[in-house]
C-alpha cells in the first residue's frame, strides 16, 4: 500500500497478437487474475503495459508478465500456468513488505472498538484519517467498505462532519432496476443493503433510522449526487468500478470544504456494459500523482472473511486451474 501509488511502463517484444491474446486470456481474465492476486491495476494497449500500485507489487507484476509472455512463444497459456507463475514470483512474500511503522488506529463506535486486521487495513485506516480523498481498491472481503463506514460513523459522532452520505452506482451484474418491483426507493434499497448492514452493526437499527429521517445519514444511488456540493460531510462511493468516467469525475468534484471522500471498488469485477470504460480504472491512472489523495491497494491475501469463505474461494480457484478458466 502507498498513499501515492507508483507506476511502471513496460513493452513486451516481439509484438505478436497471437501471443498477446494468450497472455491476456479470454476477456483479459489472466490480467484480472494477476491484478487480484497482487493488488495492482494493469492497463494495456497492444504490447505496451502500465502497472499501477505498490512498488514491490508492480515489480512482481512486471516479472510475471515478462515470464508469461516468454512462455507464449511455445504454448498457449492457461489459468493454471498464471497461478504457478505468480507462486514462483514469490507474491506471498509481498504481504510482509507492507509498512508496519504506522501507529495502530482504533475506531470507536457506540457498539465497541473496531481495529485493523493486518498491516494493509492499518495503512488504509491511517490514510482515511489523514487525507481528504481516499481510494480503497481490491477484492471483496478485504474490509474496504466496512472500515470506511466505521470512519464515517466516528467522524459523525465526534462532530468532525455534520452528515454521512453512502453512495453506490445502481449497476449490478446482469440486472436492470426497471424490472424490479416497487417504487424507486424499493428498487434502490437492495443495491445499498451492504451499507445499511454496516451502519446497523455500528449504531443500531433505531439510531440509524432516526438519523436517516433527519437526513443526517443519506444512502442514495450515485445519480442523486449530480449538481450538489457537499460541505462538512463524509462521503463513501462504494462499488466504484461500476461508475463511468463521467460519473467518477462528477462525484469527485462534489467534495466540498471540511469533507472526506472514500472511493472503494474492485477493478476486476466491472459490471458495466462491455466496451464501457470503468471510471475507477481511469481515476487511478489520472489521479495517481495528485497530492492529497491516498491510494490503498488490497490483494487477495488481505481477505478477512470467515475461514470457510476462504476455503470456498480456494476450492473454486483449484477448479479454475484444473479446467483452465477463471470465474468472475
Q: What is the pLDDT of residues 151-206, one digit of tens each?
A: 999 999 999 999 999 998 876 434 444 444 444 444 445 667 778 888 998 998 89
Question: Model pTM?
Answer: 0.71
**Residue 213, domain member (yes or no):** yes
CB 319 within 8 A of CB 56: no
Query: Same structural domain for residues 105 and 119?
Result: yes
Q: What are the grid coordinates assigned to 106, written together?
A: 482504533
Do residues 67 and 12 make contact, with C-beta atoms less than 8 angstroms apart?
no
In a shared domain, residues 158 and 39: no
- Same domain membership, residue 160 and residue 116: yes
What mean pLDDT value characterizes the chain?
83
Domain termination residue (choose one: 96, 118, 147): 96
Give how many domains the chain has, as a whole number.
2
| Same-domain check for residues 149 and 283 | yes
Residue 9: half-sphere exposure toward Cβ, Cα within 13 Å = 4
What pLDDT does 306 receive? 61
| Structure letter (DSSP) for residue 266 | -
Q: Are residues 260 and 142 in the same domain?
A: yes
As a whole number of angstroms, the distance between CA 199 and CA 140 comes to 18
CATH of the domain at 171: 3.40.50.300
Q: 137 in a domain, yes or no?
A: yes
Q: Are residues 135 and 176 in the same domain?
A: yes
Domain termination site, one of 72, 96, 120 = 96
Is 164 among the domain residues? yes
78 and 221 inside one domain: no
Q: Which has the higher per-residue pLDDT, 104 or 92?
A: 104
Which of 96, 114, 134 is the last residue in one of the domains?
96
- Give 106-134 pLDDT, tens digit per residue: 888 777 788 888 788 888 999 998 899 99
Give the CATH number, domain containing residue 87.
3.30.1370.10
Task: Report the share of the chain in percent with pLDDT over 90.
Answer: 44
Output the pLDDT for position 181. 45
Residue 312 in any domain: the answer is no
- Is residue 31 domain-resident? yes
Do 151 and 289 belong to one domain? yes
Residue holding cell 459490471? 271
- Expressed as residue numbers, the domain containing 200 is 99-297
The reply to whether 148 and 118 lie within a common domain is yes
Reply yes or no on whether the pLDDT at 314 is more than 80: no
- Please give the Cα distance from 188 to 190 (Å, whole number): 6
- Phi, psi for residue 256 in degrees, rounded to 5: -115, -165
123 and 233 both lie in a single domain: yes
Has residue 81 been placed in a domain?
yes
For residue 71, CA distances in Å to 17, 59, 85, 273 come to 14, 19, 10, 32
88 in the same domain as 108: no
Looking at the fold, whether 16 and 150 belong to one and the same domain comes out as: no
Q: Angle 29-38/79-88 helices, nearest 10 degrees? A: 30
Amino acid at each position: 500500500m502507498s498513499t501515492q501509488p507508483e507506476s511502471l511502463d513496460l513493452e513486451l517484444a516481439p509484438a505478436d497478437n497471437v501471443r498477446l491474446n494468450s497472455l491476456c486470456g479470454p476477456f483479459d481474465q489472466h490480467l484480472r487474475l494477476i491484478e487480484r492476486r497482487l493488488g495492482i491495476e494493469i492497463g494495456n494497449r497492444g504490447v505496451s503495459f502500465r502497472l499501477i500500485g505498490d512498488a514491490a507489487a508492480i515489480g512482481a507484476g512486471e516479472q510475471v508478465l515478462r515470464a508469461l509472455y516468454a512462455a507464449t512463444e511455445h504454448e498457449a497459456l492457461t489459468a493454471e500456468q498464471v497461478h504457478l507463475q505468480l507462486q514462483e514470483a514469490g507474491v506471498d512474500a509481498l504481504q510482509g513488505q507492507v509498512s508496519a511503522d504506522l501507529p495502530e488506529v482504533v475506531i470507536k463506535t457506540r457498539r465497541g472498538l473496531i481495529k485493523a486486521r493486518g498491516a494493509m487495513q492499518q495503512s488504509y485506516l491511517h490514510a482515511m484519517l489523514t487525507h481528504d480523498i481516499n481510494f480503497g481498491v481490491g477484492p471483496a472481503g478485504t474490509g474496504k467498505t466496512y472500515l470506511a463506514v466505521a470512519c464515517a460513523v466516528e467522524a459523525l459522532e465526534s462532530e468532525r462532519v455534520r452528515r454521512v452520505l453512502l453512495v453506490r452506482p445502481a449497476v449490478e451484474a446482469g440486472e436492470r432496476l426497471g424490472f424490479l418491483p416497487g417504487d424507486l426507493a424499493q428498487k434502490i434499497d437492495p443495491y445499498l443493503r451492504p451499507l445499511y448492514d454496516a451502519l446497523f452493526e455500528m449504531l443500531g437499527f433505531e439510531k440509524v433510522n432516526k438519523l436517516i429521517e433527519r437526513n443526517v445519514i443519506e444512502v442514495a444511488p450515485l445519480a442523486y449526487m449530480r449538481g450538489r456540493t457537499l460541505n462538512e460531510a463524509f462521503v463513501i462511493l462504494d462499488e466504484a468500478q461500476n461508475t463511468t468516467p463521467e460519473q467518477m469525475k462528477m462525484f469527485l468534484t462534489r467534495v466540498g470544504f471540511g469533507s472526506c471522500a472514500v472511493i472503494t471498488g474492485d477493478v476486476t469485477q466491472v459490471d458495466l456494459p462491455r466496451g464501457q470504460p470503468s471510471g475507477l480504472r481511469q481515476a487511478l491512472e489520472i489521479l495517481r500523482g495528485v497530492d492529497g489523495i491516498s491510494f490503498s491497494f488490497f490483494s487477495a491475501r488481505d481477505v478477512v472473511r470467515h475461514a470457510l469463505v476462504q476455503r470456498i474461494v480456494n476450492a473454486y480457484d483449484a477448479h479454475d486451474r484444473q479446467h483452465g478458466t477463471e470465474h468472475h
